[in-house]
Amino acid sequence: MSTSRSRVIVATPHATEYHEVADWLCADTFEPVRSTTAKAGCDEIAARGAAMLVADAGFAFQQGLHAAWRARYPQRSAILIGSPDVAAQRVAEKLCAIYLQRPVDRNTLLCMVSMAIVEGRPPRCSPRKPVSFTAIAHGHPSRLVDVSQEGLRLELPRERRTPAPPIYFLVSVPTLGIAMMVQRRWTNAPAGPVHRDVTWCGATLSKNSPGIEQAWLRFVNLVPQSGVQAEAS
């Protein structure tokens, strides 16, 4: 019996990387659509669309491929591959793209493709509550800005030497005395001058014990919206 395979457009000028990424996707139940030029990728997006775009960062931005993707899928991030450059990563994230540094790890790429396809910024199963609590995310100071039964959103300082959190990382809230493992779902630069020095990160709880999961649910159910004013001051 045949099964539906999610189509992923692969567009990069680096031949070895191009074939390697396509082979990884094919072996992991995706259908890679090989595009040797940006124009071919744009034509494919316009004609048939795809579940995801994986492309060289410079290739995508300089030749209009990322713009074509965003025009058709304004709420769906593309995955862009680039050099280990924090500034380039910040630019990509500001433009709502997922940035992977070279050399690309096979498992990381496949995980990010799966996450992006499955979620596509889906509606939450439970309401989101605005809060304000000091937190530590992957060892860096941050702020918990809203919560739901499934996860949370963090406000992270946008510093040149502070990379985006890894796929899985630890978040602790000292005031509440809780810490939990989360899975990063997305990062972006919020609009407006008031947010110019921060990045938002959405994450869902993952790989925690039942006790931690229950503690989180109790917190979400009991915490008032807008958080505790004393904590925010």
Residue with the bigger pLDDT between 188 and 180: it is 180
Q: What is the pTM of this model?
A: 0.55
Amino acid in the structure at residue 193 = P
Model pLDDT for residues 190-209, shown as the tens digit of each residue: 555 545 677 788 888 988 88
Q: How confident is the model over 110-115, as a mean pLDDT?
A: 83
Residue 55 lies in a domain: yes
Residue 124 lies in a domain: no
Pairing of strands 151-157, 140-147: antiparallel
CA atoms lying within 13 Å on the CB side of residue 14 = 18
Residue 1 lies in a domain: no
Domain end: 119, 146, 181, which one? 119
Domain end: 119, 144, 179, which one? 119
pLDDT band, residue 95 (cuts 50/70/90): confident
Count of the separate structural domains present in the chain: 2
Identify the domain containing residue 40 by its residue range. 7-119
Task: Tell whether 80 and 36 lie within a shared domain.
Answer: yes
The maximal CA–CA distance of the chain, rounded, in angstroms, is: 60
Q: Tokens at residue 6, please?
A: 């999610």
Model pLDDT for residues 42-72, shown as the tens digit of each residue: 999 988 889 899 999 988 998 999 999 988 8
Q: Are 165 and 137 in contact (CB under 8 A)?
A: yes
How far, in Å, CA of 231 to CA of 45, rounded? 47
SS3 state of residue 140: strand
CATH of the domain at 89: 3.40.50.2300
Domain end: 119, 152, 181, which one? 119
Task: Tell whether 102 and 19 lie within a shared domain.
Answer: yes
Pairing of strands 178-188, 140-147: unpaired
Task: Tell whether 179 and 223 lie within a shared domain.
Answer: yes
